[in-house]
């Protein structure tokens, strides 16, 4: 994993972005008004839409935009927030819950770590901080009906990170990976572990006589000098949680999908192995529910777990989970959103759209902003959200949106919001990320054309040189650009012959019309 970033965590899983309130028919933002962004980061982990408010879980905190203005308010280093990344956001009415996550070093490995939760009950005006819920001791026993269930005590935030949140009128539910499924009925003051079926049981209820352990890992422990063992259950490694209402809950784990119809007491499990028409895979990282015109469809990101017969994809059910259909097989699905009859699925291969309840699918195509000349180079999309006819997507490349309406086909025109340091009239340039690896991404050379004119075209030339000042790549030669804007030009780390350059320091010059060159430096590190 990379340094302590939610971006590195989302390379493995992404988070549910469900809308918890009625979405207006037409989002109020004008696509012609977007000229810049004050987001703090280009890594977007989650998008949650509530009415006319867009909430973003980013690598540097929570950002939101109200009333469709797309003027972003960033909560990093304000109120209870620091600058840690946000792994998940859950909303119900005026209650908003945001979970932080980061990485810590454990030997030679970086370990996903829960950074606690920030909770607001007045729609984001004031916040309180709750440390990542942990337990004491080694093993507890939890009552379930007349059964005592041994339960592993999770005493540290490492591997105990909140990947998803569902908020109802009665509780906050969190999916915490090794921290298992938890709920709070007092806005985070206290938490309790929720008992799910183990791997070898497909359902549990309090009237059953049961003998199993609640534990995501195998644990050998000693009580009164006697050794005992907690068995590992992949179904206790929890990634996703969704609430249809106060009674009906859906939980995604590393062993399938669990459904409760009595507020989280009894559970029925759907896995790739226990149904004739099953989900595609048991590694479930997102769940949402599409409700429109009498249809109620559960959608889940169901990726492959341990069985070689499982496959990545999206699974969906219109009969409450009794049978499932699958689609987009072979693509890692991160996230799902919908509007009316249309569903959008964020995958490792871009965003896919279906307007016939999963029968046929179309892909977004290239995400390219013709006005700013920005583009998403990496196809992978982490999250998607729909606000009326406006569809937002996010990932490591930034935030982008398009209109999906009868007069504006989905993806026909994209607008990209990518944060960068504005140069204005300054006579300088910079590149980001820097250093960069051509194996992982591209370098963006940022410059301003405003020093020449505010309206007329400017001819731009960019040349890259090695440390000996020998030219290795002509990136642009007298390319026309509008004089009133700032631009990013992309370098993929290759020379003019198409070969990836060696590690080292490279210089570049930006020349506007016949002016003096502006110099910058890029370090290539593979």
- What confidence tens digit (pLDDT) does each residue in 284-333 have? 999 999 999 888 999 999 999 999 999 999 999 999 999 999 999 999 99
Contact 215, 198 (CB under 8 A): no
- Distance from C-alpha of 194 to C-alpha of 167, rounded to nearest angstrom: 15
- Distance from C-alpha of 103 to C-alpha of 474, rounded to nearest angstrom: 39
Residue matched to tokens 């490492």: 158
pLDDT tens digits along 158-178: 999 999 999 999 999 999 999
The per-residue pLDDT for 455 is 55
The per-residue pLDDT for 218 is 92
Q: Supply the mean pLDDT for the chain.
A: 88
Q: What is the per-residue DSSP string for 87-136?
A: EEEEEETTEEEEEEEEEEEETTEEEEEEEEEEEESSTTSS-EEEPPP---
**Entry field: residues in the chain:** 526
Confidence of residue 517 (pLDDT cuts 50, 70, 90): very high
- Distance from C-alpha of 50 to C-alpha of 407, rounded to nearest angstrom: 25
Q: What residues contact residue 308 under an 8 Å CB cut-off, 6+ apart?
A: none
SS3 string, 363-422, reads ECCCCEECCCCEECCCCCCCEEEEECCEEEEEECCEEEEEECECCECCCCCEEEECCCCC
Structural tokens at position 34? 């977007």
- Distance from C-alpha of 26 to C-alpha of 512, rounded to nearest angstrom: 41
Number of other residues whose CB lies within 10 A of the CB of residue 375: 18
CA angle, corner 228, sides to 225 and 232, nearest 5?
150
- Distance from C-alpha of 346 to C-alpha of 329, rounded to nearest angstrom: 13
Q: What is the per-residue DSSP string for 66-81?
A: -TT----EE-TTSTT-
The per-residue pLDDT for 38 is 76
The per-residue pLDDT for 18 is 29
Position 472 pLDDT exceeds 60 = yes
Position 24 pLDDT exceeds 80 = no
Half-sphere exposure of 141 (CA within 13 A, CB side): 6
Position 507 pLDDT exceeds 70 = yes
Position 22 pLDDT exceeds 80 = no
Higher-confidence residue of 227 and 88: namely 88
- Distance from C-alpha of 158 to C-alpha of 179, rounded to nearest angstrom: 9
- Distance from C-alpha of 405 to C-alpha of 409, rounded to nearest angstrom: 6
Cα torsion 412, 339, 348, 29: sign: positive
Range name among 247-251, 275-279, 434-438, 496-500 with the lowest pLDDT average: 434-438
- Distance from C-alpha of 386 to C-alpha of 345, rounded to nearest angstrom: 11
- Mean pLDDT confidence for 39-51: 91
Position 9 pLDDT exceeds 70 = no
User: CA 496, 499, 500, 503: dihedral to nearest 10 degrees?
Assistant: -90
Q: What are the helix and strand counts (H, E) for the chain?
A: 1, 42
**Collapsing DSSP states into helix, strand and coil, what is residue 235?**
helix
Confidence of residue 32 (pLDDT cuts 50, 70, 90): very low
Position 27 pLDDT exceeds 70 = no
pLDDT tens digits along 417-459: 988 788 877 788 999 888 999 988 889 999 988 755 555 788 9
Residue 259, classified by CB atoms within 10 Å of its CB into exposed (0-12), middle (13-18) or buried (19+), is buried
pLDDT tens digits along 130-146: 999 999 999 999 999 99
The per-residue pLDDT for 29 is 31
């Amino acid at each position: 994993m990379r340094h302590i970033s939610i971006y590195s965590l989302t390379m493995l899983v992404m988070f549910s972005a469900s809308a918890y309130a009625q979405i207006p028919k037409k989002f109020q933002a004008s696509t012609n008004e977007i000229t810049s962004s004050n987001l703090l980061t280009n890594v977007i982990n989650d998008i949650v839409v509530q009415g006319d408010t867009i909430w973003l879980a980013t690598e540097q905190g929570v950002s939101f935009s109200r009333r469709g203005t797309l003027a972003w308010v960033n909560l990093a280093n304000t109120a209870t927030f620091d600058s840690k990344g946000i792994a998940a956001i859950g909303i119900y009415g005026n209650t908003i819950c945001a979970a932080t996550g980061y990485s810590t070093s454990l030997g030679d490995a970086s370990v996903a770590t829960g950074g606690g939760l920030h909770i607001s009950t007045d729609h984001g005006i004031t916040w309180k901080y709750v440390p990542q819920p942990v337990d004491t001791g080694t093993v507890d026993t939890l009552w379930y009906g007349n059964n005592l269930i041994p339960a592993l005590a999770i005493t540290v935030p490492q591997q105990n990170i909140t990947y998803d949140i569902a908020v109802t009128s009665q509780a906050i539910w969190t999916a915490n990976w090794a921290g298992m499924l938890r709920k709070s009925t007092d806005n985070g003051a206290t938490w309790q572990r929720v008992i799910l079926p183990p791997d070898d049981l497909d359902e549990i209820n309090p009237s059953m006589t049961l003998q199993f352990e609640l534990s995501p890992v195998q644990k050998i422990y000693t009580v009164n000098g006697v050794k005992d063992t907690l068995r590992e259950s992949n179904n206790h490694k929890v990634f996703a949680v969704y609430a249809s209402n106060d009674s009906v809950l859906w939980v995604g784990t590393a062993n399938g999908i669990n459904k409760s119809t009595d507020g989280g007491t009894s559970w029925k499990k759907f896995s790739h192995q226990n149904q004739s028409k099953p989900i595609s895979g048991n590694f479930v990282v997102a769940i949402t529910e599409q409700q429109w015109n009498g249809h109620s469809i559960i959608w889940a990101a169901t990726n492959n777990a341990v069985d070689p017969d499982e496959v990545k994809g999206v699974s969906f059910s219109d009969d409450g989970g009794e049978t499932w259909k699958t689609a987009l097989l072979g693509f890692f699905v991160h996230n799902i959103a919908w509007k009316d009859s249309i569903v959008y699925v964020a995958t490792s291969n871009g965003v896919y759209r279906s307007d016939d309840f999963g029968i046929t699918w179309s892909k977004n195509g290239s995400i390219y902003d013709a006005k700013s000349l920005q583009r998403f180079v990496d196809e992978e999309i982490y999250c998607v959200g729909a606000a009326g006819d406006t569809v937002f997507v996010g990932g490591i490349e930034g935030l982008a949106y398009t209109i999906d309406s009868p007069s504006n086909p989905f993806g026909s025109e994209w607008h990209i919001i990518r944060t960068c340091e504005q140069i204005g009239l300054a006579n300088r340039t910079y590149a980001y990320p820097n250093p960069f690896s051509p194996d992982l991404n591209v370098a963006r050379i940022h410059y301003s054309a405003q020093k020449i004119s505010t309206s007329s075209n400017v001819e731009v030339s960019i040349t890259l040189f090695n440390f000996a000042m020998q030219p290795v790549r002509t990136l642009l030669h007298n390319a026309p650009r509008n004089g009133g804007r700032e631009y990013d030009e992309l370098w993929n780390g290759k020379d003019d012959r198409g070969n990836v350059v060696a590690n080292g320091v490279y210089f570049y010059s930006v020349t506007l019309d016949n002016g003096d060159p502006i110099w910058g430096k890029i370090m290539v590190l593979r």
